[in-house]
Structure 1
Amino acid sequence: MTGVQPSDVPSDAKTLDSSLGTIVGGGTAKELANAFGMQTIADLLGHYPRRYALRGESTDLTRLIVGDIVTVIAQVVSVTESEMKNRPGTRVTVRITDGRDTLSLVFFGKGKNGTRGSQNWRTRELSPGVRGIFAGKVTEFGDQVQLAHPAYKLFDGDLEDLDEVVSDPKVKRMLQDIVPIYPATAKITSWEIADAVALTLGALGPIPDPVPEMLRRDEHLMSQAEALELIHRPHTATDWQSARDTLRFTEAWVLQCALVQQHTQAKERHTTAREPVPGGFLDRFDAQLPFVLTLDQQIAAAEIAVDLSSTSPMSRLVQGEVGSGKTVVALRAMLAVADSGGQAALLAPTEVLAGQHLRSITAMLGENLAADLMPTLLTGQLPAAQKRKTLLRIVSGQSHIVIGTHALMSDNVEFFDLGLVVIDEQHRFGVNQREVLRQKGATPPHTLVLTATPIPRTIAMTVFGDLDVSTIATLPAGRQPIESVVVPLDEHPSWFFRIWDRVAEEVALGRQAFVVCPAIAPKLVEEGELLAESENAATDAPARAVASAPRVATRPGQRAGRGAAVPDEHKHPINDVETLIGGMRQYRPLAGLRIEPLHGRMTSEEKDQTMRAFAAGDIDVLVATTVIEVGVDVPNASVMVVMDADRFGVSQLHQLRGRVGRGGVPGLCLLATYAKTGSTSRERIDAVAATLDGFRLAELDLELRQEGNVLGDSQSGDRSSLRLLRVAIDGELIARARQAALFLIGGDPALRTEPVLRQAVERRLNDNQLTWLHKG
């Protein structure tokens, strides 16, 4: 595939943009499209093997995995032949052993040479005592694993005679060939994908390289054509490893070029500069601020001020620790925009958080500033009369600060002069949703993105490479420490009661408590649903089965049906808000306490009333889902209990913990779990308990996850996951690719001199991603 001259290329040679159906056939193309969204040759060749198997590797029969292609060296124990019931022919079943376990081989047929007779030639060949090499795909029939129609080569004598046997070229190929194992489905197998790849590689013409030759040489990369050939059809392990290195850098290079290009082009757009005026809203706010901003807050505020004063739209991400004071920094930006006569819109992911923002911003502004700026809340469940009044305030410019949920993006919402869009917890919003709001500005509004989830540097470069980044790592003075304790209920079931005793003790001191569950009600779990608000929650069949058992509360949240045994990890009843509240109210130490629920199935008015009551101290214990994960600020809350902590991600646990310790007393976070010591789930929980450093936890979370869809559907299109690039381990590579992209695009923002790279950017990113990358 390398070194091909134009005259050598067949006239019907295919390109990376050619349709798959023209090569692999309509049926296979349809299955590939249904399973993986593949449409073009580039899509198929970008579907890399997930691992490689050496045919000669002898697999331990005790460790077979269904779906794997294996090679075993074993001895025949028995062979039987029986007639098939539903069609002519016979079934031969062979039992083999490697001395540790046994395995079945099955062969279906009509007899040798197409006859309707038996396969007695096979039963003679595979007689008991014969040794051989057997290779095939592990399948399952009933509760037995087997190899159906495996390839095999028999040999006489002991296994020590193997060297003699492999002189046979066919056996040598069986032993030495490297077999690519592809991500597959029940309808399109790894073998079929490999066949499709082989057809495609054979039909391709020259493959242009998106990495410039000089950069390829500096990075010691092979050509794109050679890399694609060797990752799919390697001869040695070195082949696919070198190919993977090349393609990994190429992936980082193409993505970074797209991000840097977007960032550069955004700076070329024109908008209205927004600057504060002497004695204006911002000066009045700063004069009454009862505390001094931390150094990190001051730096972030200065960076934002410079961006706002430019006629290029700001695109800045402010990431900060839980409780680090991002809201006050964002509010100062809103006031600078208000000084210029403009409006700011703050988009929050939930009505609970939107209401919280309205209350906290109004409180920070004080009575006089709030009256002048008129902060306004817009949600989807406002009464019609109130909604009309709110919309009028927005379109007239009477309200300078508008806070809302997805309702802000409705067609009937018009702004007088939208100058700033603040997106809180941006990962909760889709690309198009955010863009709809930005389009409501007469000129491109400045954009400020907030996240309370600290982002590792490599993620920031990969996911937010089109944004400038400010970091607020230090906490304001006076923040109380939070003690985090893992409650291992599998090892100490009696500690379940101690959780509620501890909650009662805190409430007796005049404080309040949060309790978080991964589900709202047993019915949700029984149906296989966990609340969407808990985005990292997981479920399984045993948990659903237990959750559907009759409920008799013998202790807070316990369901009957499992006897006295402590449930195994992921096999205990999943705690839900409704059941847990019922049990808590019956537990004597909690008797008389004001315990109320909060979850996503309550109406907007119910949620708002509940949060107001909790903030006012009228509720002692709030039992909630993760609707209270971010932004909720109740200084008197001193204890956070997270039930089934193993069902939440690292960042979620850190966010939940951050809801306490915000007042004048230390916080306590109890992470209750049935996860066993040594399990990945338990390691994750222990890690959270061991540090309050959200940035360290973010790095740890990345290490634990290793790979996956770091871009996420909310950040880009539906095929956005990284393929070979691993942000957990490829930080240096990503940084090198970004530096090279900055250098190239600094001199050629439109990539006019690199048409192949420009096409690769367009090919790698689907339409949704292009929309995301090129909107400003």
Structure 2
Amino acid sequence: MLRGKTNPDICLLSICIIISQHASILASPIEYLKGVGPLRGDLLKKELSIYTFGDLLEHFPIRHIDKTKISRIADIHPDTEYIQVVGKLLFFETIGENRAKRLVAQLRDGSGSLELAWFQGISWVQKNLTLGVDYLVFGKVGFFNGKPQIVHPEIEAFVPTVAGAKTHLEPVYPSTEKLKARGFSGRQIGKLTQQLIAQIQPKDIVENLPQALTQRLQLLPRFQAVRATHFPTSIQEYEKAIHRLKFEEFFIAQVRLNLVRLQRHKSSRGVVFEKVGDLFNDFYNHHLPFQLTGAQKRVLKEIRTDTARGRQMNRLLQGDVGSGKTIVALLSMLLAADNGYQSCLMAPTEILAQQHYTGLSSLLKDMPVRIEILTGSTKTKKRREILAALADGSLHFIVGTHALIEDPVVFNNLGFVVVDEQHRFGVAQRAKLWQKAAVPPHVLVMTATPIPRTLAMTAYGDLDYSVMDELPPGRQPITTVHRFEQARASVMEFIRTEIEKGRQAYIIYPLIEESEKMSYEDLMQGYEQVKSFFPEPKYLISMVHGRQAPDLKEANMQRFVKGETNIMVSTTVIEVGVNVPNASVMVIESTEKFGLSQLHQLRGRVGRGSEKSFCILLTGSKVSKEGRERIKIMCATNDGFLIAEKDLELRGPGDIEGTRQSGALNFKLASIVNDKELLELAKKEAEALLDKDVDLVLPENLMLKHFLQQQKGKTGWSKIS
């Protein structure tokens, strides 16, 4: 026998052979499972994406019903969801005719009586029920005419010898209306799963976590955890099983994300910014409009370190509205210019690009650098000048929209790219910009949508990540109040007093779908109502919405930006990017129809100057519990990160704007909202494992490596481009 170092490739090959010998049952097409067949198989594929035995095994129950105890009928109260009781069947009768026909029965125990009802299968139920017999009944409790009732209960003759209750926790599986209509409810899925689990062995569900890790964290073996998540013998076993599988989901995700980031650091070539030169130092020392915050200095240091390494930077910079991201971007662009490289800033809309250009031009007016703007509306002669200057290197900075990615745009030496509100650009669009340089440029992506830490760890965990959580000095917090419709006149009067001080105001309507006729009519009615409070020519009003021609929309926005109109009546098209420091009032109509992050973004359109600003949340008299919660949070804090956390709790990650369209959040069991501590633990353990074995070549990590290779292509993490 040969002795010496173990060859990891041979070890991995051996593991793959062993796994392939046992994995065949889980790879079997679902139609081959007894009781499925081709027709049901097609339904499961279309409705639940269950293609194989393994997919069925990963279709986990949404909850379990505790059938380990019998309750008294008298214990039923308005909050009772499911109950199991034993009682004597006293009578049953058929009521109504045709479609309204139903079977009603009465069950009584020593404490009270319960009505049972059936609307389907009435003949079969009547044949199989016997008056005067004790029955074990289980079902979901409802109330009819104030009395408890179970519709379509599970019912069977009571056998005292087994001490009454069924001794298990029954899984409840998610199904669909189409499946239920074909007689394929969650219960039928449960029967199929039970049948499958009876066929498989521990060798069929191979371990994918290192043994030392599972032992140290006292995690159940993977086979036992999967089986007990479906059919636990106790609540305690279920809790251990679900803990193991949730940890596994987080851990695998964190290992994958860290590997993507480490691989990028290892292989991606980038231009080197060797020095901090005269342009950066001159601007920093003589032209900064205010002292940088600690957060801005920290982020600049991170960017300086990244750009000096010789690897491409892909950094996400998130900061609340008004946190000073643009100054950080400008200083980074000056750093690029000091090292002989051009920079570009790409924004999603022409008005936002124009604002960036105006702001940067003002800041750079005394600096020996040239900056231009390129958009769809740039005139032909000017466009030719700009393209020539970009190509010969005499143009240092270019600000623009999608026009920057067009083929005629050729850079002499592109080294730094800033993308504002990156989720508004497609991946292919951004990639075209990177390809305009021989060596990939450094990339700084900015977003004003605060991202909760747990979401950032999962959706953006493969990127380098900076947070700016301080506001520059001089900014006053925005006062936010809630007012009901009855107070509209006083709200309008308040706007009038602000206008008389020389200020401007926004009034925003919740036109979510621009094609919705009713919402459009609401906006037009609102516009007419505002005009009645603020008649022309004393007051001038701009209106902006998605149905307007782009030229008209742009013209109306610009009138407000230039102070030519007092009030902007708009839909959420102004949510990101309109910068009017003179605007001091934001009124949000039908506030209850907006999500928290959107409300915070809208509020961020005011408070951009040195004057005190106000946000008024206007609602009807009836507001849902969740709507009241959102309004309460908005009135209590201006902290975008706190608001983002609350939004995540209320709405879940799938609805948060800016979440990456990837597999990063496709967890079957784990929740980044409810399982934060487990996510933190998984992140820590994943980083520790990769610190010791970044290539996963140690024998104890080969099973994990094989599992990751099997999962390749099933998720969508990638670098920004």
The bucket for the TM-score relative to the shorter chain is 0.7 to 0.9
Kindly indicate whether residue 332 of structure 2 is the aligned counterpart of residue 333 of structure 1.
yes
What pairs with 1:268-417 in structure 2 (closer than 5 Å)? Answer: 268=266, 269-275=268-274, 278-280=277-279, 283-284=282-283, 287-366=286-365, 369=368, 372-379=369-376, 397=393, 399-409=395-405, 414-417=410-413
Q: What is the aligned-residue identity percentage?
A: 34
For 2:578 and 2:21, the matched residues in 1 are separated by 65
String of CA shifts for 1:293-335, please: whole Å, max 9, x gaps: 2222122112211211220111222222221101110121122
Deviation string 1:510-543 (CA, Å, 9 cap, x unpaired) is 10011111117896164xxxxxxxxxxxxxxxxx
Query: SS of the residue aligned with 2:240?
Result: helix
CA distance in 2, matches of 1:384, 1:97: 85
Check whether the contact 1:270–1:444 (CA below 8 A) recurs between aligned residues: yes
Aligned partner of 2:471 in structure 1 is 475
Residue 42 of structure 1: how far off its partner (Å) = 4.4
Aligned-residue offset at 1:439: 3.9
Tell me how far apart the structure 2 counterparts of residues 327 and 586 of structure 1 sit (CA, whole Å).
39
**1:694 aligned partner:** 640
| Map of 1:167 onto structure 2 | 161
Aligned to 1:197: 193
Deviation at 1:384, TM superposition (A): 7.3
Look up the match of 2:703.
Answer: 756
Deviation string for 1:96-150 (max 9, x for gaps)?
4686874422453777xxxxxxx76446x1x4x766333468999xxxx997865
Is 1:51 aligned to residue 63 of structure 2? yes
Relative distance call for 1:378 and 1:764 in structure 2 (3 A) is: farther
Q: CA deviation at 1:761?
A: 3.5
2: CA distance, partners of 1:341 / 1:758: 43
Say whether 1:187 aligns with 2:184: no
Q: Which residue number in structure 2 is paired with residue 34 of structure 1? A: 46
Distance 1:100 1:335, change over 3 A: farther
The verdict on how the C-alpha distance between 1:272 and 1:470 changes in structure 2, with shifts beyond 3 A counting, is same
* Structure 1 Cα separation of the partners of residues 70 and 408 of structure 2: 65
1:582 is the counterpart of 2:528: yes
* Contact residue 638 and residue 667 of structure 1 kept, 8 A: yes
Tell me the equivalent position of 1:235: 233
Q: Does 1:501 align with 2:446?
A: no
2:597 is matched with which residue? 651
Please give the alpha-carbon distance, in whole angstroms, between the structure 2 residues aligned to 1:736 and 1:50: 24
AA matched with 1:586: S
Change (3 A) 1:272 1:756: same
1:514–1:637 CA contact under 8 A, matched in 2: yes
Within 2, Cα distance between the matches of 1:641 and 1:354?
Answer: 26
Write the distance in 1 (CA, Å) between the matches of 2:393 and 2:707.
Answer: 45
- Between the aligned partners of 2:318 and 2:205, the Cα distance in structure 1 is 41
For structure 1, which runs of at least 5 residues remain unmatched after alignment? Answer: 112-118, 156-164, 527-546, 552-575
Contact 1:132–1:153, Cα closer than 8 Å, also in 2: yes
**Is residue 168 of structure 2 the alignment partner of residue 177 of structure 1?**
yes
- Determine helix, strand or coil for the equivalent of 1:494: helix
What's the CA shift for 1:389? 6.5
Separation in 2 of the partners of 1:608 and 1:7? 64
* Matches for 1:392-541 after TM superposition, within 5 Å: 397=393, 399-409=395-405, 414-487=410-483, 489=484, 493-519=485-511, 524=516, 526=518
Q: What residue in structure 2 maps to residue 740 of structure 1?
A: 685
- Give 1:620 deviation, angstroms: 0.8
Q: TM (normalized to structure 1)?
A: 0.78
Does residue 727 of structure 1 match 2:672? yes
Residue aligned with 1:724, SS: coil
Whichever residue aligns with residue 171 of structure 2, its letter is: P
Q: Does structure 1 retain, via aligned residues, the 8 Å contact 2:22–2:204?
A: no
Give the drift of 1:386.
Answer: 6.8
Task: Compute the displacement of 1:44 (Å).
Answer: 3.4
d(CA) in 1 for partners of 2:16, 2:371 = 69
- Equivalent position amino acid for 2:135 in 1: G
**How far apart, in 2, do the equivalents of 1:355 and 1:203 lie?**
65
How well do the aligned residues superpose, as a CA RMSD in angstroms?
4.0
Instruction: Quote the Cα distance in structure 2 between the aligned partners of 1:410 and 1:130.
Output: 81
Distance change (3 Å), C-alpha of 1:733 and 1:278: same
Distance in 2, matches of 1:14 and 1:729, equals 35
Distance (Å, rounded) in 2 between the aligned partners of 1:579 and 1:245? 54
* Distance of aligned partners of 1:77 and 1:640 in 2 relative to their CA distance in 1, 3 Å threshold: farther
Rounded Cα–Cα distance in structure 1 between residues aligned with 2:197 and 2:689: 31
Q: Aligned pairs, how many?
A: 687
2:618 maps to a residue whose letter is A
1:287–1:15 CA distance, 2 compared to 1 (3 A): farther
Q: CA contact under 8 A between 1:73 and 1:132: conserved in structure 2?
A: yes
Maintained 8 Å contact 2:459/2:662: no
Indicate the residue corresponding to 1:152 in structure 2: 155
Deviation, 1:735, is 2.3
In structure 2, the residue matched to 1:217 is 215
Could you tell me which residue of structure 1 aligns to residue 584 of structure 2? Answer: 638
CA distance in 2, matches of 1:10, 1:300: 48
Give the corresponding residue for 2:4.
Answer: none
Once the two structures are superposed, residues 457-507 of structure 1 have per-residue CA deviations (whole angstroms, 9 ceiling, x without a partner) of: 3222222222233222221121123111111x2xxx420222212112211
Give the Cα separation in 2 of the matches to 1:708 and 1:339.
41
In 2, Cα distance between the equivalents of 1:712 and 1:760? 32
For the Cα contact (< 8 Å) 2:330–2:360, is it kept in 1?
A: yes
From the superposition, tell whether residues 749 and 578 of structure 1 become closer, same or farther in structure 2 (CA, over 3 Å). Answer: farther
CA distance in 1, matches of 2:46, 2:380: 44
CA pair 659-588 structure 1, distance change in 2 beyond 3 A: closer
CA shift, 1:419, in A, is 2.1
**More moved, 310-319 vs 516-525:** 516-525
The amino acid across from 1:741 in the alignment is A
Unaligned runs of 5+ in 2: 1-14, 180-184
CA distance in 1, matches of 2:301, 2:326: 15
1:579 to partner: Cα distance = 2.5
What secondary structure does 1:447 align onto?
Answer: strand
AA of the residue aligned to 1:743: A
1:95-134 correspondence to structure 2 within 5 Å: 95-96=105-106, 102-106=115-119, 108=121, 121-122=127-128, 125=130, 127=131, 132-134=135-137
> How many angstroms does 1:689 deviate by?
0.9
Task: Report the secondary structure of 2:525's partner residue.
Answer: helix
Q: Spell out, residue by residue over 1:589-613, the C-alpha distance to the aligned partner (whole angstroms, 9 max, x if none).
A: 7873211112333343333322322
